[in-house]
Chains A and B, each alone.
Chain A
Amino acid sequence: MSTTVKQQLWSEDVPSFREEDLTGDEMILQMGPQHPSTHGVLRVELLTDGEVVKQARPHIGYLHRNFEKHAENVDYPGVIPFADRMDYVGSMANSLTYALTIEKLMGIRVNERVNTIRILVAELQRIASHLLSVGTYGIDIGAFTPFLHCFRDREMVLDLFEWLCGARLLYNFNWIGGVSHDLPEGWVDKCRYFVDQFGHTVDEVDDLLSFNKIFTKRTATVGIIPPELAVSYAISGPNLRGSGIKWDIRKEEPYCGYEKYDFEVPIGTAEHGPIGSCWDRYYVRILEMRESCKIIRQALDRLPEGDVHEHLPKRVKPPQGEAYLRTETPRGELAYYVVSDGSLIPFRVKGRSPCFVHMSLFHEIARGEMIADVVAIIGSLDIVLGEIDR
């Protein structure tokens, strides 16, 4: 590789604004990487004119941990903890996607109990992740109280996970061909109790935040992603549905037996402003939490008997080949592309992370908004830097 190509690859791909290019009242404002509301170590460079943002350039990479290269140097099960650490508030969904990909590569078909448990934890994780997103979004807009109400209930989900597998954040729960632990005795009742009382929390958040006049005024007219723009940037998850497009991998390409469950795919309603606004994206998450409750109830009702370790392979040594599989994580469409050369360690693991794609759209919707709106937009995209930087 020649030096110039190398330099091009390694030099910063997004050029910074330069002081000498400024005109009139323009000012460069560095938002991040240590800023309270960039949701992690994101640096956004703003070219401002007073309070108005003329241009915004996100700079990523502060949390780069070499996930994909690491994956090429450990055995197949060893990648699962790394996958957990990609989207660290939605770990269950990440490791589930990876496990499903390897299972597809090896042709393993797990039993119904494993599938049901996986759906249970994935939906609980969706609730926990959306609670975090909704709560911190409240903080971004200036309301502190809903955040703690959300965290109170998120704690309950984490307690359930802790009881299940001993960890509260990074679980290493979805193994290739099964799950690490069967449901402990009494877990089902506790889970049912959580789902039953959870509706009240969502009502509370609706009262405090969703339909608050100030909140809707702040969010319903900013950060508009029109449906065409959303599709052209390959946005997915609640952000895409917020733009009014009904697309959910759980419905389109069901995995783990999602096709047997009865649930709706909520989309943006444009209730308070144009379609695809921050409020629409926010409210899709609220509705999705209610739908997740529905799915959990059904899963708890039909939980079949079985051995969760029944299909664990003795050695994970997939045949030569490749597999690509995508799932609907709390943040959107997460996919893994795994290439196997027939040995014990993967030849290549590529993650297609939703937040990275969402971040690529950021400069389009932040242009011309105000500084406070930039915060609102970042929050409504619900990014996790661990997943963007990998």
Chain B
Amino acid sequence: MITRTRQIEMKILPVISAAVMVGAAGLIGLIAALPAVAGLLSALIDANVPEALRPAVARGLGVAAVVGFLSLFPIFAIWFERKVAAHTQDRLGPMRVGWHGVLQSFADGIKLLFKEDIVPKQGDQILFRLAPYLVVAGTFAAFAVLPWGDGLVVSDLNIGVLYVVAIGSLNTIGILMAGWASNNKYSLFGGMRSAAQLVSYEIPTILTLLVVIVQVGSLNLQDIVLAQQGGLFHWFIFRMFPVNLIAFVVFFICGLAETNRTPFDLPEAESELVAGFHTEYSGMRFAFFFLAEYGAMFLVSGLAVVLFLGGWQGVLSSPPVPGTLLFFAKTMFLVFVQMWLRWTLPRLRVDQLMAMCWKYLIPIAFALLIVAGFLSLPS
């Protein structure tokens, strides 16, 4: 017998999932048409806003766009990850809520919203509450310099790369804070592991960033993309073979480590540390860590695309599709690779993780930097 609520559900769900599909299609369309939309918006601002306020309004709109994207992206990414996981594991994954379960993340999000917010009595009250916001803020703020298209960037900083690396480190403090404030030994272990891991892996990350920077001569992410103009073989990954290719691999491995993804998910190693630094978190605070994780996945992939895969440049020198869509597609592919790796590989141990960083990645990155430096000397 079908109950009344189930009947309502069956009537409403197709409608909502259709709406979501249309919304997703619209979003992709919006991404594709982002330059046009931005142009329209700037024309509107020019016409209606007094001149003194124009930069502030434009920035505000940019921030709103980033925050809006980052609130919606994890909802999609979580569904996508569950589907990737399911199909790797010979099962179907979420299928009930909406078409092929596309609404599952909404349902989970609503559940998390309504969950009781538990703060450990013995824990550090302020730090415990502060930690999720720091982690999210670190990830969100880094998006400000990510170039989506030609001239499409919230803040065109001339020290973009440095800014991303610096603000990305806020994550570490947030996770360490969460681990300490939870007053739980497992959380503490998770926080400590995370701090050690992120601090170590930051070094090869920066060194591989420098490999690209010495070739471009600029820290501006837009400049880096513009330097790769002219089709597939002008992307940095194919230049100066194999220096940049190895640099890309090293950067991507470090990216996995910095976002705490398998095989480097030690801070939240389920089988060892229960849930690591977010063991004691529930409800929306937990959801914030989740948001930050998926945001960071996109950020790292986006950065790899900007640095090595041509950013919004196409395979041809004048691509028929909008650059924003190309950037999004390339980034999503790398996000998919991250998920693929996560559901295939086992986890490293703490000492092996450190050995990998200090014994292999850092020397390799240094060698690459030296070679790249010599090769890009003006002759």
Contacts and interface: CB of A to CB of B under 8 A. Distances in A.
Contacts of A51: 189, 193, 350-351
A144 B272 contact: no
A211 B263 CA distance: 16
A218 B185 contact: no
A372 B185 contact: no
Interface stretch (B39-47, B171-179, B339-347): B339-347
B89 A214 contact: no
Nearest to B344: A145
Contact of A37 (B88, B186, B271): B271
B91 interface: yes
B265 A142 contact: yes
A141 B350 contact: no
B271 A218 contact: no
A64 interface: no
B90 interface: yes
Contact of B269 (A27, A138, A372): A372
B349 A372 contact: yes
B346 A373 contact: no
Given A142-B265, A149-B90, A375 B346 contact: no
B344 A370 contact: no
A183 interface: no
Contact of A218 (B88, B189, B274, B348): B348
A371 B189 contact: yes
A370 B274 contact: no
Nearest to B185: A29
Among A35, A36, A140, A144, residue most surrounded by chain B Cβ atoms (within 10 Å): A144
B185 A27 contact: yes
Contacts of B274: 35-36
B222 interface: no
Contacts of B185: 27, 29
B262 interface: yes
A144 B349 contact: no
Nearest to B90: A152
A127 interface: no
Interface in A133-154: 138-145, 148-149, 152
A187 B349 CA distance: 45
Nearest to A27: B185
A214 B350 contact: no
A209 B271 contact: no
A140 B343 CA distance: 14
A96 B85 CA distance: 39
Nearest to A51: B350
Nearest to A378: B271
A37 B349 contact: no
A190 interface: no
A214 B90 contact: no
B270 interface: yes
Contacts of B344: 143, 145, 208
B269 A141 contact: no
A304 B265 CA distance: 54
Contacts of B262: 142
Given A27-B185, A375-B271, A138 B349 contact: no
Interface residues of A, number: 29
Interface residues of B, number: 29
Interface in B342-363: 343-352
Interface in A183-218: 208-209, 212, 214-215, 217-218
Given A145-B88, A145-B343, A148-B91, A218 B349 contact: yes
Contacts of A36: 270-271, 274
B107 to A, nearest CB: 22
B89 A139 contact: no
A37 B347 CA distance: 14
Given A144-B89, A372-B350, A139 B189 contact: no
Nearest to A38: B271
Contact of A370 (B270, B271, B347, B349): B349
A340 B346 CA distance: 51
A218 B346 contact: yes
Interface in B288-331: none
B272 A214 contact: no
A143 B346 contact: yes
Contacts of A373: 349
A218 B265 CA distance: 15
A27 B189 CA distance: 11
A215 B274 CA distance: 20
B272 A37 contact: yes
Given A35-B274, A36-B274, A37-B272, A142 B351 contact: no
Contacts of A142: 262-263, 265, 269-271, 345-347
A371 B193 CA distance: 12
Interface in A7-49: 27, 29, 35-37
Given A35-B274, A148-B91, A143 B350 contact: no
Given A35-B274, A371-B189, A141 B346 contact: yes
Contact of A141 (B90, B189, B343, B347): B347
Nearest to B263: A214
Contact of A138 (B85, B265, B272, B346): B346
Contact of B272 (A149, A208, A375): A375
Nearest to B188: A27
Top 6 A-B residue pairs of the complex, sorted by shortest distance between their CB atoms: A142-B347, A143-B346, A148-B89, A37-B271, A141-B346, A142-B346
26 contacts: A35-B274, A36-B270, A36-B271, A36-B274, A37-B271, A51-B189, A51-B351, A138-B346, A139-B270, A139-B271, A141-B346, A142-B262, A142-B345, A143-B345, A149-B89, A149-B90, A208-B344, A214-B263, A214-B345, A214-B346, A218-B347, A218-B349, A371-B189, A372-B347, A375-B271, A375-B272
Given A212-B346, A214-B348, A372-B269, 15 more contacts: A27-B185, A51-B189, A51-B350, A141-B271, A142-B263, A142-B269, A142-B347, A143-B347, A149-B90, A218-B348, A218-B352, A370-B350, A371-B272, A372-B349, A373-B349
